[in-house]
Amino acid sequence: MIGTWVNMGTVLVGGLLGWALGARVPGRVRDGATIGVGLATVVLGLRLALGTGNVLVLLVSVIVGGAVGASLRLGERLEGLTRRVEALSRGRPLGEGFLAASLLFCLGPMTLLGAIQDGLYGDWSLLAAKAILDGISALTLAAALGPGVLLSLGVILVYQGGITWGAKLLSVQLVGFSAEAPAVVELSAAGGAVVLALGISLLRLRELRAADFLPALVLAPVLAWLVGFL
């Protein structure tokens, strides 16, 4: 669960700095750091996706998963929720800072993928990239909303940490589980494709709704199991 502790640490530091500095945080600092995280996210996504053991499984899961997610408007719904959360920055009450930060830090593919990756493999590199982004967001949110942002630390611990522990316990309970099992390998590869979409968006190369591809995380292990069974 190292990734969650690191994530909480960056939110704590960013939140305290934002609260102390207020509106004096320059926008170019946030933009430069976000682009840097985007580059690292692309590298992480490529590393995970290239680990696939069956390119056909990866292709089908991402294509079909993306079609399903787009038809369900997953990305559009998440963007709408994010815009409503960002609108809260116009207010100052403690509760608004807590709600805005909690939603921003715990919604989205990086939280789910990073926590699962940490739980299954002990690999918290994706959560480290998320931690940097969250630290930047905590700084800017706390500058606008005050100390309520820091209360989101409890939500990160319970939600993100809970997913990590759940993935870890599941891997222990599954009979014959192995990090090299085809279903797990293809789940990780499909997750890499989603992370790659996130990185492309962060770099502003193209606006991709990464959440639309989340159904691929369900399809990839199922297809891998079917291929192995057949």
Count of CB atoms within 10 A of residue 178's CB? 11
Q: How far apart are CA 37 and CA 172, in angstroms?
A: 32
Per-residue model confidence as pLDDT tens digits over 28-44: 766 676 677 678 778 87
Q: What is the pLDDT of residue 209?
A: 83
**pLDDT given at position 147:** 82
pLDDT by 10s per residue, the chain, length 230: 889 999 999 999 998 988 887 666 666 766 676 677 678 778 878 988 898 989 999 999 999 999 999 999 888 887 776 666 556 555 555 566 676 677 678 866 778 888 988 888 888 888 998 898 899 888 877 876 778 788 889 989 998 999 899 888 876 655 445 556 788 788 888 888 888 887 888 788 888 888 888 899 889 989 998 988 77
State the Cα–Cα distance between residues 70 and 76, nearest whole angstrom: 8
User: Whole-model pTM?
Assistant: 0.69
What pLDDT does residue 175 have? 45
pLDDT of residue 83: 67
Q: Are 211 and 74 in contact (CB under 8 A)?
A: yes
**Which of left, alpha, beta for 199 (phi over 0: left; psi -120 to 50: alpha)?**
alpha
